[in-house]
Structure 1
């Protein structure tokens, strides 16, 4: 994810990275070239004049804008919910570690809980992205914990179980009063909810039919648009077609990109920065030096 201060209005016109333009450049160039050919031929194909006016495009454009608005609103709702879930990971992990450090008679065992909390955050990131998290888990967990996780697909779920076992051990040893266990268990429950919410977003995309309808309509609209404009605006047809096609293609591409917020595209969530930031917060609470990962400029940990 690209996180940076908003540039000057003039620079904003020429921003390339993260602007979706690189993704839609081929179809945008193709549509513009078609508009140039249609303008040169005055809307004729093999000596047959295609009798189109701008009226049907006005009606179709309104319907298309409604569909695109719905698609983008739905995609952004998924994106924002995912961001809220990762914000809750920060709140719940540091609250749980704070209670382990301050409510227990012996705060030394809290280090094991902190290791599992950090491993849970990194493990969730790797699970959502389908990447290999072995390196992170090996540097964070002792061998006994690794042996329990190595063959499992749902590593974050097992880490939650292991954190519950830590609570059980503290209660049984008398280091943690039984009356305090429900308060800490509440935070484990919230972590479970965050895990389930992220898994739901990752495994339940927007119905494919919406993407097919919008994709087909946009392309047919942009390919036929030059024939409806050439008689009214003449040489300006390619310019207007390029502008309208850019708007529709970009909105479709952006909706498709943020629909899956856990990926590694420029506009997806900054999971690397967030997971390392959570790790550093927990390490500082334990009195340890933070790891020297560099967070994106402008990234706010909330």
Structure 2
């Protein structure tokens, strides 16, 4: 995720960064400028269409369709941002619940039992990093511990760690270290790990419906491809930069929505999961 100062907006106009859609669209912008130039040349120089041509009325259609496409793109970007923000809220809940569980365990567990505290500390921290790696589609060894929590290839590591947490707490209850009331006292935080994981998986595994995404792309393409046929009559060769700019705006909105609809990846605008996990690690180490 890119950190920036929103008050320095003037510098954004002249600075290109890795998340800028202009870089991704350069080949398409170049191709469309050539296409519009060819259409303008044919209409002006070759066919020499006059003011009596019916093609000039195509701008009326563009005026009506422009309102429709703006509504579609607003809905598209809002839906993608809601998914991004929900993902951020879920990892915020993971941070709070991890802290709460650590605070409760710190108050309940005997201070002299450093081994038990260390085991819980490792499990809680490892769960956050395991969830991050699970959402990004890989389960390599943790980058944080020398004593690894290993699972079989293809297994659900966050579920395994949640099971180990439940098992250890239940064993403490069996050993009379935790009372029944204390077991219930810890249950909400323990259950929240799996609930947060399931909610994150729902976002990751349920993209925007394919037909909706394809329709918007086709709509943008045909809308832009037909723009020069009408605007050449009034703008001439100036229609080249104008049509290219219209395509840049519409396509950029679609690209931004595609990038943020899965907030758990490694793109420039995705959530800073590495930093969130390291913050949780620091907090849990301080508490336990």
**TM-score w.r.t. structure 2 length?**
0.90
Choose 234-243 or 205-214, whichever is displaced more.
234-243
> Are the equivalent residues in 1 in contact too, given 2:224–2:247 (CA < 8 A)?
yes
Q: Secondary structure at the match of 2:14?
A: coil
Query: Do the aligned partners of 2:121 and 2:284 also contact (CA within 8 Å) in 1?
Result: yes
Deviations 1:73-102 (A, max 9, x none): 111111111111011110001110111011
SS at match of 2:28: helix
Separation in structure 1 between the aligned mates of residue 270 and residue 23 of structure 2, nearest angstrom = 16
- Where in structure 1 are there 5+ consecutive unaligned residues? 287-302
Displacement, 1:257?
A: 0.8
Counterpart of 1:57? 62
Tell me the distance in 1 between the aligned counterparts of 2:236 and 2:264. Answer: 45
Using the TM superposition, give the Cα deviation of residue 129 of structure 1 relative to its aligned residue in structure 2, in angstroms. 0.7
Q: Secondary structure at the match of 2:194?
A: helix
Change (3 A) 1:197 1:150: same
- Worse-superposed segment, 80-89 or 232-241: 232-241
Contact 1:43 1:50 in 2 (8 A): no
Aligned residue pairs total 281
Q: RMSD in angstroms over aligned alpha carbons?
A: 2.1
Question: 1:264: which partner in 2?
Answer: 266
Determine the C-alpha separation between the residues in 2 that align with 1:111 and 1:21. 49
Q: Residue 44 of structure 1 contacts residue 50 of structure 1 at CA under 8 Å; is this kept in 2?
A: no
Q: Which position in structure 1 is the counterpart of 2:117?
A: 110
| Contact 2:125/2:281 (8 A) holds in 1 | yes
Residue equivalent to 1:200: 202
Counterparts in 2 of 1:75 and 1:44: CA distance versus 1, 3 Å: farther
In the TM superposition, what is the alpha-carbon distance from 1:135 to its structure 2 partner?
3.9
Contact 1:171–1:181 (Cα < 8 Å) also in 2: yes
- What is aligned with 1:300? none
Take 1:222 and 1:27, find their aligned partners in 2: how far apart are those partners? 12
The structure that is helix-richer by fraction is 2
Q: CA deviation at 1:222?
A: 1.0
Instruction: Identify the residue that residue 295 of structure 1 maps to in structure 2.
Output: none
8 A Cα contact 2:42 2:48, kept in partner: no
Contact (CA 8 Å) 1:24, 1:253: kept in 2 or not? no
Residue correspondence of structure 1 range 69-80 to structure 2 within 5 A: 69-80=74-85
Q: Aligned equivalents of 1:44 and 1:189: distance in 2?
A: 72
Matched, 1:126 2:149: no
> CA distance change for structure 1 residues 44 and 50 in 2, over 3 Å: closer, same or farther?
farther
- Structure 2 match to 1:90: 95
State the match for 2:36 in structure 1: 35
